[in-house]
A and B are shown apart, each in its own frame.
Chain A
Amino acid sequence: MGILLTDIRKSFGSPPTQVLKGISLEIQEGEFVSIVGRSGCGKSTLLYIMSTLDPPSSGTVLIDGQDVNAISSRELHRFRNLKMGFVFQFHHLLPELNALENVLMPAMKANRQEERKAFAISLMEEFGLGKKLKSFPGQLSGGEQQRVAIARGLVMEPRYLFADEPTGNLDSANGNAVMSLFRRINQEQKMAVIYVTHDIDFSKMAERTIQMSDGLVLS
């Protein structure tokens, strides 16, 4: 199944500036994929389109054989809640919730917080956050916050994890730890991980690298 993009184009502004110029690609289930390229080449836009956060100007996005443009908004949100996880450069934790509550936010939407609680705690223990369950974001370091955000992206055991510059705001030690975590999740849980990065070393950790330039996929 996986993700299949066909002739994806995306324009912004008026007069329109074409950021993506007809991209077609396929991502298999369980793949570990990096998207690289210079700033402004359309990496993040491509990631957001394949993760259904941003609709394309034209072209089709099929996820698990389903055209995401053809399903209702409610279905799309449900799909995103159950099958997708996100990690952003800025971790964006909710400051009024503790670490465990932040991790459980996607489960709360599906009204499955009790059911997912044990898994959330085990994830946090696995990420070295076992003693920080009740800590608020302001009491955590940048690396810890990013690990909480990753745990949040994984709590529903999604089929796809999308990450936009997940190491962009971290020092190299924390960056390495995050990438190792991604790799381990991908191998152990067979979850597809698609991440955008500027870092050549981190991009090389992927099984496959999508090289972009000026709105086109080079390789």
Chain B
Amino acid sequence: MLFLALRHLLSRKRQSVLTLTGIVLGTAAYVAISGMMLGFQTFIVDQLVNNDAHIRISAREEPIEPHSLDEDFFGPEALVDWKAAPSGRRDNAYILSPRFWTERMDRMPEVAAYSQQLVTQVIVTRAKVAKAARLIGSDPARQAQVANIKNYMIKGQFTDIGIGGNRIVMGDGLLKQLGASVPGTVYLSVGKGQTQPFKVIGSFHLGVKALDDSTLFGALPDVQKLNGTPSRISDIAVRLHDVEGARELATSWNILSQEKVQSWDQANEGIMSVFTTQDIVRNSMTISILIVAGFGIYNILNMAVTHKRREIAILRSMGYESSDIVALFLTQGIILGVLGGIIGCLLGYGVCEIMARIPVADRGLGGNHMIIVFFPGIYVRGFIIAFSSASIASFLPARAAGRLSPIDIIRSENS
């Protein structure tokens, strides 16, 4: 029936082209929007996964409830009516048993690397300029295994921080705000104790302004000394061999420990929920376009069935079966779906290529053009959506055509 289906489509060129255009645009829109949105998501996820830990273990924070101190003060049986109930936060700014964790990490095959950190807020001063910043103290060799920071260095080497000697690297935004340079000297203080001079031996550009404007890396002993907390750590950043397992592993560790354990996606649930919303919007919009195209096919084939009643009757009288008639109309929908899907994917690819050349703000290693992904899955999904919507839309008219009785048509034509 392919021959006859093609002739049917070609005999009503304008309608066929219009319907095809609908499918092409729907598919192209899906491919282009997916390429753009997934490109954005991939960039953000890449930043989250590779610039920080897959799993972060940090000191747990716990709000104090009105009766949460009753037992500590008055024993387990006491019924206490506080005049002024205690409030506040019971937290440990430090991981209580880092050795427990390090021994555990060394044993776990899932763990690729880990880095003990002391993260603290500091005031960075250079001349008369002072800025608040976040200082991360770590072993630079280990830190470089956990995150991709060394790839984002624009001046100096990350590992040159060493294991002591008050050397730091800072985000290029912060460097600019302070009017500092590499090499140079800045003064750090944590609000208690003395201000100490640190030598700036490098700068980095992550492409995330909030981080580039406020982050410093130093050696762990130096930061512990600055903070007045020798041997203390506040975080352990963990890199896994398989990032996909991060959530499950973090949840299981969280149950067993006093510390707060979060995977990269748990720590950024707000961003992940934005991605989910984006996906819903992207899919809804595309499905809407394809539903409209599907209705186009449905209407055109419905009209064709009505107009072709005589031909259907004559085909049946020649020995064509009901299934042949269904195939005749279904094939038309499938041809439109396949052609529309292929052309739509090609058009979408072209649009993606053009969008990928649009200049945007510099994003560090992300380059300075729009990030568009060309995952084969997007094209396969776009084609399947076009093909399915066309097939489903043509099935109903095709089935109706197959159910027409030839003799009823002949009688109605003769009467």
Contacts and interface: CB of A to CB of B under 8 A. Distances in A.
A77 B310 contact: no
B11 interface: yes
Contacts of A110: 319
Interface string A75-109: 00111111010101110101111000000011011
Contacts of B4: 94, 96-97, 108
A48 B8 contact: no
A92 B414 contact: no
Contacts of A94: 4, 7, 311, 314
Interface in A58-77: 73-74, 77
A178 B56 CA distance: 92
A105 B318 CA distance: 8
Interface string B276-303: 0000000000000000000000000000
Contacts of A86: 314, 317-318
B413 interface: yes
A92 B11 contact: no
A144 interface: no
A106 B414 contact: no
B11 A53 contact: no
A137 to B, nearest CB: 11
A109 B319 contact: yes
Given A48-B410, A53-B406, A106 B7 contact: no
Interface string A113-125: 0000000000000
A53 B317 contact: yes
B313 A109 contact: no
A53 B321 contact: no
B228 to A, nearest CB: 89
A54 interface: yes
B309 to A, nearest CB: 10
Point out which of B311, B324, B413 has the most chain A C-beta atoms below 10 A from its C-beta: B311
Nearest to A49: B407
B375 interface: no
B407 A92 contact: no
Residue from B10, B310, B313, B317 whose CB has the most chain A CB atoms within 10 Å: B317
A92 B313 contact: yes
A77 B320 contact: yes
A106 B319 contact: yes
Contacts of B314: 86, 88, 92, 94
Interface in B93-113: none
A81 B319 CA distance: 4
Contacts of A81: 318-320
Contacts of A90: 310, 413-414
Given A77-B321, A108-B3, 20 more contacts: A44-B411, A48-B407, A48-B410, A51-B317, A73-B321, A80-B317, A80-B318, A82-B319, A88-B317, A90-B310, A90-B413, A94-B314, A96-B7, A96-B8, A96-B10, A105-B315, A109-B318, A109-B319, A109-B320, A165-B414
Interface of B: 3-4, 7-8, 10-11, 310-311, 313-322, 324, 406-407, 410-411, 413-414
